[in-house]
Every structure is written in C-alpha cells, then in structure tokens.
Amino acid sequence: MFPDVRLRRLRKGKIRNLVRETTLSVDALVQPIFVNENIYSPVEIPSMPGIYNIPLSEVANEAKEIANLGIPAVILFGVPAFKDAKGSSSYGEKDIVQEAVRRIKAELGDKLVVITDVCMCEYTNHGHCGIVDLEKKEILNDPTLEVLGKIAVSHAKAGADIVAPSCMMDGMVGAIRQALDLSGFENIPIMSYAAKYHSCFYGPFREAAESGYSFGDRSTYQMDPANSNEALREVTLDVAEGADIIIVKPALPYLDIIYRVKTDYGMPTAAYNVSGEYAMIKAAAANGWLDEKKAIYESLISIKRAGADIIITYFAKDAARMLK
C-alpha cells in the first residue's frame, strides 16, 4: 500500500473543496426567537450574548432581518406576562406567541417558515412542561395532552407553518395530530422533539424563557443522557403517531443519537444546538480561548456530518453572514 496510497494528495488547495463530503448551507438553519410580553425594548440574555428577548413590537423586524439573511425558518418561544398552574396563557388567540406569529406572517407571508414551540413550561408558574398534581408533585401525562392540542391548534390558527412539541409527554404527537386534524389543519406538519434529553445544557434557555422550575426537575419526562436505544423507541412512537420531522436535542453531546436516528429511520431529522452549546462557545471566544467563527463552523458542520438535515441554532444569523 504505502507509498502508493497517500491520502494527503487530496487535502491541498482547491482539491480539498472538491472532495468535501458535507456542506453547510443556510437552507438548513432555523433561528430561535424569544418574544416577551413584559418588555418594551430588546433585552440581551446575560448567558447568551448576542441573543435578545424582544417585545412584540420588534418581532416582525427581527423576522425580516432573519429572512433577508436567507435563513428559511424561525422557531418561536413566548414569555407571557401571566403565568398560572395550568398555563392558561399558552393557547389564547391573543396570547404572546399567537400575536407574534400573526405579525410575522403579516409582514413576510411565505418568505419565512414559522415554527412554534409547543410546551407549557414558559406559561406555568411551577415551570414544568405539563399539568401538575401539586400535592403529589407529579407531572400528569394525559391531562397535559389535551392542553397541547389546544396550544397547537391556536398556533395553527394564528398562521404557524409547523408546530414543534417539546414537552416529552407520551402520546404528544398523536394528541396534537388529532387536534389539528379535527380543526381542519391536516396539512400542518409536526416537528417532534422526539429524543430530548434531560440536559444541563438548557440552563441559559431557562434564564431566557423564564422557565426554571419551582420543584423537582425534568428527569421524570426528559431522557436519561446515558441511553441511546431508548431514543430509537421514542422515535418509533413519534413516527407511528404521525411526526413529520424528528428532533434530537441537544446536538453536540448527542451526535451518535443524530447518526442512529438518521440512519435507522431516514426521516427528515433536525438537531437542536441548544443554549448551553451556544453559551460555551461565546464564553470561550470572549476570553480569547477559541476562534468563534471557526468554532461555529466546526460545530455546525459536525452536526450535519452526523446526519442532521436541519439545525436549530442561536448561531443561525452569524452562520448565514459567514456563508454569504
């Protein structure tokens, strides 16, 4: 073999580009937006430099900037003014996410895909992702499904293009599919957070979305980071219930899961490059310990290489500028 085979021959100059196996395109990116009912001007999130909570009055402008960068989609998270135990402000016609969707759609129509996160944690005063038995301190699966259906339908009515349930309740995809279909939204896709791990990397998000919890943690519904076969069981169920796109979350510590999901199912697969993954790169770059742009590119290309078709990332705008 050696010296006949020399792999270095293809690593130089433009030849390197010619044999590149994976490419990163702006078409794969989804930018998250936090829209907050309690503020009148954008407020930077301390643990996520460069990412802002924005008021409703700014949401259309922000969406326009994102669309102008060529990014095809946003995912919306709402921070409501009112929270209660039942998450009542999550499904009203005039609630924060519904209003935000309407404003973005009025401004941009089909120029931007609007995905909405369907969960209760930003809307409940206990901060959990579902209906809770406060005495037993238990998160109740089946009563939550009904609320999820209402949230999804309210988002679709406001004009959302895709709904993305993230609460890890059993049966969430089926319940939402049924609710959407009964309301005439049989053509609205469901992008399911199928394999969502109980991860410390959501920390900065909880600060951003004011969704920290008052008791316990999310380990009774989110997955154990030690498991991988279980992720496939989750995906099997969600596909059977009618999920159109599968999300694996977080991304970088779970590249093996992205790979297995994509390889085994061939479903449109998204990876969520979460808040903590963003914060780590920002913090290291701020200290001069990492080259920020290179770290962003290497992270995103690795997520693609693992098999993700879509990447939800707080770096979407930065990456879009870099790819221009």
Interface residues with ligand PBG (CB under 6 A)?
A: 117, 119, 121, 129, 166-167, 202, 205-206, 218, 274-275
* Nearest distance in Å: CB 236, ligand PBG: 22
* Nearest distance in Å: CB 300, ligand PBG: 15
Residue placing its CB nearer to ligand PBG in the complex, 108 or 269: 269
* Nearest distance in Å: CB 262, ligand PBG: 21
The catalytic position among 196, 262, 282, 304 is 196
192 alpha carbon, distance to own chain's centre: 10
Residue placing its CB nearer to ligand PBG in the complex, 210 or 230: 210
Residue from 202, 176, 189, 195 nearest 77 by CA: 202
Residue placing its CB nearer to ligand PBG in the complex, 218 or 304: 218
Between CA 37 and CA 241 the distance in angstroms is 33
Residue from 172, 160, 13 nearest 99 by CA: 160
Which residue lies nearest ligand PBG, judged by its C-beta? 205
How does DSSP classify residue 247? E
Residue from 133, 74, 130 nearest 104 by CA: 74
Backbone angles phi, psi at 249, to 5 degrees: -150, 135
The catalytic position among 105, 249, 262, 282 is 249
Between CA 217 and CA 239 the distance in angstroms is 27
Q: Is 304 a catalytic site residue?
A: no
Give how far Cα 219 sits from Cα of 198, 215, 224, Å: 6, 12, 7
* Nearest distance in Å: CB 113, ligand PBG: 18
Q: Could you tell me if 144 and 151 are in contact, meaning their C-beta atoms sit under 8 angstroms apart?
A: no
Residue placing its CB nearer to ligand PBG in the complex, 157 or 206: 206
* Nearest distance in Å: CB 48, ligand PBG: 9
Q: Could you tell me if 309 and 269 are in contact, meaning their C-beta atoms sit under 8 angstroms apart?
A: yes
Between CA 285 and CA 292 the distance in angstroms is 5
Q: Is 86 a catalytic site residue?
A: no
* Nearest distance in Å: CB 222, ligand PBG: 7
CB crowding 152-186: b at 16 or more within 10 Å, else e? bbbbbbbbbbbbbbbbbbebbbbbbbebbeebebe
Residue placing its CB nearer to ligand PBG in the complex, 185 or 205: 205
Judge residue 13's burial from the number of C-beta atoms within 10 Å of its C-beta, 0-12 exposed, 13-18 middle, 19 or more buried: exposed
Residue placing its CB nearer to ligand PBG in the complex, 119 or 180: 119
Kindly list the catalytic residues. 196, 249
